[in-house]
Structure 1
């Protein structure tokens, strides 16, 4: 597997993902687990965030200590399912800005169709983390990265719960410079573009729809 894929195999991440795969998991528990898992993944995704020194007064003396500039980070949620990951990541970096891109997959062609795009200003100063639970065919992720690249941010990462060899290949063919962070690389896609063994349609399971 290419070095541009970061598999987050922490035991807590893997444990929660397994519970989410269970078809008997309720909407409530699926949503809660996704929030917890996203928070854990955020630690790995932000590991190389730039830091700066500030002066701080402890109870005993004044010293210099490091902080991140959360305002320079933008989480971009691919609607609608990306919101489930977004909430967990914002709990770790509450100062981050948020962008939204609305894409739906045409059921016949499986290509991504854009219907909404709203980003913070001055994107050229910012590091972008695009979030979506599944990297399956890769069409939505590829389209999202293309749109974000038009705004020339400092960097782009893509974060998903699950992917598969087909999705990784498609993403890296289109955007070899964008690292993928995922909790699992599953076996394959089925003829409908769903990941196997996967966990079903993440959006439907988050929102309790069909």
Structure 2
């Protein structure tokens, strides 16, 4: 599995804001918006392009556009925070949704929503989720996509834990990873250390409904 760690100084600065426990919801969202766009920018390097004719105010020339824009698939709920920055970079992308809750006892993903095209053959897919912890949620999402024929899948995560990276690499699934950092471990509650806490709570406030 190919892993790209985006270690740009501006990415590191936004990541620091997201890690800081003093950052409120608004500051966290703003930092994620910036950092998410940076990660999507980097993930898009491998997308195929095509040339087309265009006219500038001065002369005829050739332009460049994406041959097949990716479908953006957030893993709800925290992944929703990365949709707008992804669309700011790729405005003609489509969006699918995968909803997964976390069982706080088993730490396993509990599916509750799936809104995806039936056939993803030949379609690039960007799965966006701020956190890659154990890998359970992301592996579930990638399997769903692979079952629909996707073979060009990029997982875009802000913070990745080494156990989750290893699980993704060992899965044999057609996925590559773009992330801002790889943190070394998980604590007893399967939270990334040092991590940034619960991304969903820090984006939207504590969850107060049962899914």
Instruction: Report the TM-score when normalising by structure 1.
Output: 0.94
Alpha-carbon distance between aligned partners in 2 of 1:171 and 1:154, rounded to the nearest angstrom: 15
Bigger Cα displacement from structure 2, 52-61 vs 74-83:
52-61
Aligned match for 2:69, one of 69, 72, 75:
72
Q: CA RMSD in A?
A: 1.4
Contact 1:97–1:120 (CA<8 Å) still a contact in 2? no
- For 1:145, the equivalent position in structure 2 comes to 142
Aligned match for 1:23, one of 3, 21, 25: 21
User: How far 1:176 moved relative to its partner?
Assistant: 5.0
Q: How many residues are aligned here?
A: 207
Counterpart selection for 1:41 from 20, 39, 58: 39
Distance between the aligned counterparts of 2:204 and 2:83, measured in 1?
Answer: 15
Structure-2 separation of matches of 1:40 and 1:168: 20
Unaligned 5+ residue runs, structure 2? Answer: none
Which 10-residue stretch deviates more, 100-109 or 172-181?
A: 172-181
Extract unaligned runs of 5+ from structure 1: none
Give the CA deviation at 1:175.
Answer: 3.4
Deviation (angstroms), 1:154? 4.3
**1:182 corresponds to:** 179
CA distance in 1, matches of 2:52, 2:85: 27
Shift in alpha-carbon separation, 1:175–1:130, aligned structure 2, 3 A: farther
Shift of 1:122: 4.4
The equivalent residue for 1:13 is 11
Could you tell me how far apart the structure 2 residues matched to 1:95 and 1:34 are? Answer: 21
Q: 1:129 to 1:96 in 2, by over 3 A?
A: same
Give the distance between the partners of 1:34 and 1:72, measured in 2 at CA.
22
Q: Does the 8 A contact of 2:5 with 2:181 survive in 1?
A: yes
Query: Which residue, 95, 106, 112 being the options, matches 1:115?
Result: 112
- Is 1:164 the counterpart of 2:161? The answer is yes
Question: 3-state SS of the aligned residue for 1:180?
Answer: strand
